[in-house]
Amino acid sequence: MKQTFFFIFFIFTFANIHSQNQSSFCDQVEALAKFINENHYSPKTVNDSLSTHVFHLFMDIVDSNKRYFTQADIDAFKKDEFNIDDYINTKQCGFIDKYISAYQERINTTIRIISSLKDETLDYSGKDNLNFTTKENFKYFDDSQKMKLYWSKRIRYEVVQQILDKDSIIASVKKNFKALEHGVKSKVIQNEICLLEEILSQSGGIDQFIKEAFLNAFTNYQDPNSSFFNSSDKMQFESSVTSNQEGFGIFTSKNDNGDIIIAHIVSGSPAHKHGGFEVNDILKSLKSGDDVLETFCISIEDIHAFTNNKLHRNISFKIKKQNGNLVAINLTKELIKNEGNLAKAYVLKSKKTIGYLNIPSFYTNMESTYGLGLANDVAKALYELQKEGIEGLIIDLRFNGGGSMKEATDLSGMFINRGPVSILKYRERENYTLRDANRGSLFSKPIVVLVNSFSASASEFFASAMQDYNRAIIVGSRTHGKSSAQTILPLSESEELGFCKVTVEKFYRVTGGSIQSKGVIPDIILPTFYDGFKSEEQFMDYAFENDSTSVRLKHRPLSKLNLDSTHVLSQKRIKSNLAFEGIKQLNALVLKNYINKTANYPLTLDAIHNDQLNTKTQWNVYSKQIDAAVASFDVSNLKRIDELLAYNSEDKQLNALSLKDIATDIYIDEAYQIINDFINHHTSN
């Protein structure tokens, strides 16, 4: 019970996971409904209201852009809109079959429609118009003719786009258009067909996809952070919040021909130790026991599902080398350090020496007896940074989606002298105050915490605690606004029914206020590329509303930070900084020409060229402004890291790229200037 007071706990004991298709969908639905009712922070009643919302969520998950189903399909499905609650309560799960068969039929119909375009002469005369609108205005097709017209226009638009990407000189393109169009058209059509065949051949097939879409619709209606997980989903989620994971050490991507290729090989991993893999090798198939996965027209997610399968500890990778030779390489999974999650420390030097800590996630070490993770790593890094004589610290939580609340609690405790750090609120239980019980702190000098709209959950927990204690200057943009915690549990003891990531508690600031659907508002706000994208939790369906709770143990903050002059100086720099101006202009460009694009023009080479030319010209101008940013400080590693890198040339090259990224990051640069100004102001006073 004590664990639940501290962090999002994860269950890692596995039985053999069988295919979800071998489990009864009805058993899954029944188990999920029971599980949600017993465990969710605020479960919703299974009634007509739930039924209609789950129905529409289900349709949106299955066909989010309304590209496959027709309006006639939706009209036929609508008889279920107010009956889903009855199906759940009476254990009638046969309703799902019509969605499986209809979806399969529509995907196959779409493949036939696109395939038929191979032998047709496509019209670029402007007889048809291109219509761009926002997602809320998308409509289902009235009939198969409308469906064919849509895909014909989509193919034509992509053909012209690809031709212009290779040659932007319109006169040259017009002169050679017929020859260019012939080759590109075939490639575009094949790529679209391949994407559709990925849907058909995905792990578990259409059957599993539709059933899991329904299970996710049911959980997402409770709140946007509750989800159904199959075993592969669970493993991928867990790997994002742990410092170690079992794997082969291979990252894949797709090349321009749609082949699955080796994109990166993790240093020290089984793939790296073998030595037979090279970047850009083409992955042809994977085999484990009797299970074989051919890689033609499959998604990267299917590769993940196969390699993450607990039963697939040994896999034979068939690869095509760049010289054309086919080679089979046998690998066994090993425990690999998840470098992408680990906190990293650097030293920034110019007028002052400032420590820089990049924290990608609030990870924990699942293999450690004591669950040592992020906080333990930061404590070690702080010790080394202080030996470098740092006068302040920048903690970068941008794009940190959260993780363990225990780690966030322990990290907060390093910078305050005892006291509450958060208040947890449970369903039908008294509030619980999370406290740092240790006297003193590990670091008492000035701190800047960098955040953005993708800093969520545990990141917001930490940032809000630092703000409430007046312990740090929060810099960046308003955070995500997720003030809830989840746990992952199996739906059955055998785990064959899958898992549920379920919201079990809310957390509040030590003041009793909440960051839910509001976020942490920075003390100094910086413009970002993502402003106005509406990616924060407040814009998600069924997000919790902002509220407050009672406070039992009052915190004792430090004196309020005097940021007046620091804020003024920052705003002056931002106004005169061409890179920040470029960010603002790029943001406006993307909002207008992509996210909120509404346009209507003839489907012609000239019209598409003019539309693209305007966007590309502006993009290039603003990008150059951002890329021209010059570092105002030198970046170096901790001495221990330099000593380790001396023996590994590959890691040394990757590290050099990291140092360059830090040196040219305008947000780190502004954070450095802010902490310098703050120190100078308080030194002079």
pLDDT in tens, 309-323: 888 999 999 999 988
- Which pLDDT score is estimated for 480? 98
Residue 12, pLDDT > 60, answer no
- Which pLDDT score is estimated for 647? 87
Domain-terminating residue out of 337, 367, 391: 337
Distance CA 68, CA 192 (A): 13
- Which pLDDT score is estimated for 23? 47
Of the candidates 647, 675, 435, which has an alpha carbon nearest to the alpha carbon of residue 553?
435
Q: Is position 51 within any domain? A: yes
- Which pLDDT score is estimated for 494? 86
Query: Are both 205 and 76 inside the same structural domain?
Result: yes
Distance CA 498, CA 94 (A): 20
Query: Are both 191 and 324 inside the same structural domain?
Result: no
Query: Are both 253 and 294 inside the same structural domain?
Result: yes
- Which pLDDT score is estimated for 367? 56
Q: Is position 47 within any domain? A: yes
- Which pLDDT score is estimated for 236? 83
Residue 4, pLDDT > 60, answer no
Query: Are both 195 and 70 inside the same structural domain?
Result: yes
- Which pLDDT score is estimated for 14? 27
Query: Are both 200 and 281 inside the same structural domain?
Result: no
- Which pLDDT score is estimated for 371? 64
User: Model confidence at 366, in pLDDT bands (50, 70, 90)?
Assistant: low
Query: Are both 174 and 272 inside the same structural domain?
Result: no
Q: Is position 36 within any domain? A: no
- Which pLDDT score is estimated for 368? 58
Q: Is position 16 within any domain? A: no
Number of domains observed in the structure of the chain: 3
Q: What percent of the chain has pLDDT over 90?
A: 79
Average pLDDT for residues 463-477, to the nearest whole number?
98
Least confident residue range of 241-250, 413-422, 544-553: 241-250
Domain-terminating residue out of 317, 337, 357: 337
Which pair of tokens denotes residue 197? 């065949």
Average pLDDT for residues 406-418, to the nearest whole number?
95
Yes or no: say if 315 and 286 are a contact pair by the CB < 8 Å rule: yes
Average pLDDT for residues 617-644, to the nearest whole number?
92
Strand (E) or helix (H) holding 235: helix 231-239
Query: Are both 101 and 250 inside the same structural domain?
Result: no
Residue of higher predicted confidence among 338 and 507 = 507
User: Model confidence at 685, in pLDDT bands (50, 70, 90)?
Assistant: low
- Which pLDDT score is estimated for 654? 87
Strands (E) in 416-478, as ranges, are: 419-426, 432-436, 447-451, 473-476
Q: Is the pTM of this model over 0.85?
A: yes
- Which pLDDT score is estimated for 15? 30
Name the burial class of residue 525, with classes exposed (0-12), middle (13-18) and buried (19+) by CB atoms within 10 angstroms of its CB: middle
Of the candidates 138, 75, 73, which has an alpha carbon nearest to the alpha carbon of residue 99?
73
Query: Are both 218 and 249 inside the same structural domain?
Result: no
Domain-terminating residue out of 276, 311, 337: 337
- Which pLDDT score is estimated for 3? 34
- Which pLDDT score is estimated for 314? 96
CATH number at 272 reads 2.30.42.10
Distance CA 50, CA 218 (A): 8
Mean pLDDT of the chain: 92
Q: Give whole-number Cα distances, 326 to 88, 315, 322, 571, in Å.
A: 51, 16, 9, 59
Q: Is position 276 within any domain? A: yes
pLDDT in tens, 594-617: 999 999 999 999 999 999 998 989
User: Model confidence at 167, in pLDDT bands (50, 70, 90)?
Assistant: confident
Least confident residue range of 153-162, 181-190, 257-266, 347-356: 257-266
Residue 398, pLDDT > 60, answer yes
Q: Is position 81 within any domain? A: yes
Average pLDDT for residues 229-250, to the nearest whole number?
85
Domain range for 142 is: 43-222
Query: Are both 65 and 205 inside the same structural domain?
Result: yes
Q: Is position 522 within any domain? A: no
Query: Are both 170 and 78 inside the same structural domain?
Result: yes
Query: Are both 300 and 168 inside the same structural domain?
Result: no
Yes or no: say if 333 and 213 are a contact pair by the CB < 8 Å rule: no
CA 477 to chain centre: 18
Query: Are both 200 and 280 inside the same structural domain?
Result: no
User: Model confidence at 17, in pLDDT bands (50, 70, 90)?
Assistant: very low
pLDDT in tens, 415-469: 999 999 999 999 988 999 999 988 889 999 999 999 999 999 999 999 999 999 9
pLDDT in tens, 77-104: 999 999 999 999 999 999 999 999 999 9
User: Model confidence at 13, in pLDDT bands (50, 70, 90)?
Assistant: very low
Structure-token match 């329904």, residue found: 214
Residue 179, pLDDT > 50, answer yes
Average pLDDT for residues 543-562, to the nearest whole number?
96
Q: Is position 206 within any domain? A: yes
Buried/exposed code over 595-624 (b: 16+ C-beta within 10 A; e: otherwise): eeeeeeeebbbebbbebbeebeebeeebee
Residue 509, pLDDT > 90, answer yes
Under 8 Å CB-to-CB from 411, ≥6 apart: which residues? 362, 374, 375, 378, 462
